[in-house]
């Protein structure tokens, strides 16, 4: 993965000129900004924007708009003439309004620039509401299911040796200064040793925590973020050290909060900038967790920047002459809408066929399950690009469900002895596919799709089920 830099202003990724537009939200945010300028209360238009964003399925943006509304109402009640609070709220609103206008759902979920304002809003709210907290994964993984992640059984001596090595390497990383122009060689050696420990701890389960942590560490270093000013990377390394202790005590599952934070960090740069050929392994792991990325092919940073700029200009020129369609609160470009329907038809046909075959456990075929997952991800990516947030979330969750089914069908003894992946049942797969089909029928008829929360909740329960590894089976290995 190439090191990335901001392409415009304070944002990291390119805008999505073919993406859907939530005009009512954009208008409400403009009204809220005007209210701030005129020293009036912007809470009502912010809530209106939040409702529109939720209806469109832009759930990360919905969370941000809600935080803006909550911070606004508290600022009004606490100190109506506090210029510092109003200025901070205005800055957050400006950045958020610009991000919503870029129509890039992955950027709305994963932008560090947006999250910096979201965290500041959270700190303002926490002064009035003790215990209120905001984390990066709150935005990045909003409404996304996350499967249980294992700590497979290992000899106590092996874990003790790994943890001792890890702790020695961790100290120079925690002491490192993020603003140094040229990090000392011993820091690179320490990071190499941390990477080696994480890789050696990884087990055969596709949902093994150390496998995920090692991938996250590689992504941090590839993006130049292993020593960041925010301290997020160092916090990740320190929490992994605590997990080594939990693992030695026989804890079978990694902490869910750390799994979510690790997964969101791994996804961040790939979601913003896409992936190239050398990232194929990282992309496969992201697919195991229900997350997708776009593919970018470029030889150098400069050639990629040129390719991205030319693509953006071509799309912007095409959009200026394009007809639009309204799907509820979402306005989509007609050509992009027609392209999406073609992708959706092929994907839903494949998903329905695989769901019918999944009813017979004796004919479980992991490769067929992987193909079904890929079909769901194609649909999810296409829906995300068009701005159909509810469809994208449900399709990605269905892709994850099929991935879990594929891994549960693996018969290699070395893998099955430790895995705790419980295959989602055929009925849950079929119901999710039918819910997607119903949503797509409405979209094809030019009608806004229904909220997918009920279908997504049912599929999430099927995905997140799992228990501790069978000690007898693990010991036999």
User: What are the residue boundaries of the structural domains of the chain, listed by start?
Assistant: 21-134, 156-288, 322-476
Q: Rounded to an integer, what is the distance from CA 92 to the centroid of its chain?
A: 21
| Residue 338: per-residue pLDDT | 93
**pLDDT at position 263:** 98
**DSSP at 412:** -
For the stretch 82-122, pLDDT in tens is 677 788 899 999 999 999 999 999 999 999 999 999 999 99
> CA 440 to CA 48: how far, in whole Å?
26
Cα-based distances in Å from 199 to 35, 125, 241: 53, 40, 14
> How far apart (Å, rounded) are the C-alpha atoms in residues 90 and 32?
9
pLDDT (0 to 100) of residue 455:
93
d(CA 155, CA 247): 10
Q: What is the pLDDT of residues 22-37, one digit of tens each?
A: 999 999 999 999 999 9
* Residues lower than pLDDT 50 in the chain: 1-9, 299, 411-417, 466-477
Rounded Cα–Cα distance for residues 246 and 395 (Å)? 34
Cα dihedral 238, 244, 247, 252, rounded to 10, equals 40
Query: 449 and 443 in contact (C-beta within 8 Å)?
Result: yes
Query: Under CATH, what is the fold of the domain 322-476?
Result: 1.20.120
Give the 3-state secondary structure of residue 331.
strand
Per cent of the chain over pLDDT 90 is 63
Helix (H, G, I), strand (E, B) or coil at 17: coil
**Average pLDDT, whole number, for the chain?**
85
The structure's pTM equals: 0.89
* Token pair belonging to 191: 């990071």
Residue 142 CA to residue 162 CA, distance in Å, equals 34
| HEC string for 138-174 | HHHCCCCCCCCCECCCCCHHHHHHHHHHHHHHHHHHH
């Amino acid at each position: 993965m190439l090191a990335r830099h901001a392409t415009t202003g304070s944002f990291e990724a390119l805008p999505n000129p073919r993406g859907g537009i939530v005009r009512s939200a954009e208008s409400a945010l403009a009204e809220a900004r005007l209210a701030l300028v005129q020293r009036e209360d912007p809470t009502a238009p912010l809530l209106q924007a939040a409702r529109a964003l939720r209806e469109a399925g832009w759930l990360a943006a919905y969370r941000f708009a809600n935080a803006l509304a909550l911070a606004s109402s508290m600022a009004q009640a606490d100190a109506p003439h506090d210029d510092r609070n109003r200025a901070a709220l205005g800055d957050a609103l400006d950045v958020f309004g610009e991000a919503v206008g870029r129509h890039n759902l992955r950027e709305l979920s994963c932008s560090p620039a947006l999250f910096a304002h979201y965290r500041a809003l959270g700190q303002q709210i926490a002064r009035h509401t003790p215990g209120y907290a905001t984390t990066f994964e709150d935005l990045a993984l909003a409404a996304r299911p996350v499967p249980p992640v294992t700590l497979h059984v290992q000899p106590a001596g092996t874990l003790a040796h790994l943890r001792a090595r890890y702790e020695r390497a961790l100290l120079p990383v925690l002491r490192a200064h993020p603003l140094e122009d040229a990090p000392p060689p011993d820091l690179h050696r320490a990071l190499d040793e941390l990477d080696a420990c994480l890789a050696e701890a990884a087990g055969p389960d596709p949902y093994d925590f150390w496998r995920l942590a090692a991938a996250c560490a590689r992504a941090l270093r590839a993006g130049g973020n292993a020593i960041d000013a925010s301290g997020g990377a160092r916090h990740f390394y320190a929490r992994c050290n605590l997990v080594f202790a939990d693992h030695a005590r026989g804890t079978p599952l990694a902490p869910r909060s750390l799994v979510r934070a690790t997964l969101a960090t791994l996804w961040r740069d790939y979601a913003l900038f896409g992936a190239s050929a050398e990232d194929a392994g990282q992309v496969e792991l992201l697919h195991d967790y229900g997350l997708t990325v776009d593919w970018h092919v470029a030889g150098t940073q400069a050639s990629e920047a040129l390719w991205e700029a030319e693509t953006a200009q071509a799309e912007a020129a095409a959009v200026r002459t394009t007809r639009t369609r309204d799907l509820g609160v979402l306005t989509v470009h007609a050509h992009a809408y027609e392209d999406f329907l073609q992708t959706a038809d092929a994907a839903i046909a494949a998903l329905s066929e695989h769901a019918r075959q999944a009813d017979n456990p004796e004919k479980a075929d992991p490769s067929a399950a992987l193909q079904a997952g890929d079909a769901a991800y194609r649909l999810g990516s296409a829906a995300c690009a068009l701005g159909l947030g509810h469809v994208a979330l449900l399709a990605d969750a269905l892709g994850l469900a099929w991935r879990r089914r594929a891994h549960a069908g693996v018969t290699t003894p070395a893998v099955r002895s430790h895995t705790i992946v419980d295959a989602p049942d055929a009925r849950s797969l079929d119901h999710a596919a039918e819910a997607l089909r119903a949503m797509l029928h409405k979209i094809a008829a030019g009608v806004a799709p229904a909220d997918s929360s009920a279908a997504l909740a049912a599929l999430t329960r099927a995905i997140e089920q799992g228990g501790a590894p069978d000690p007898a089976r693990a010991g036999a290995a």
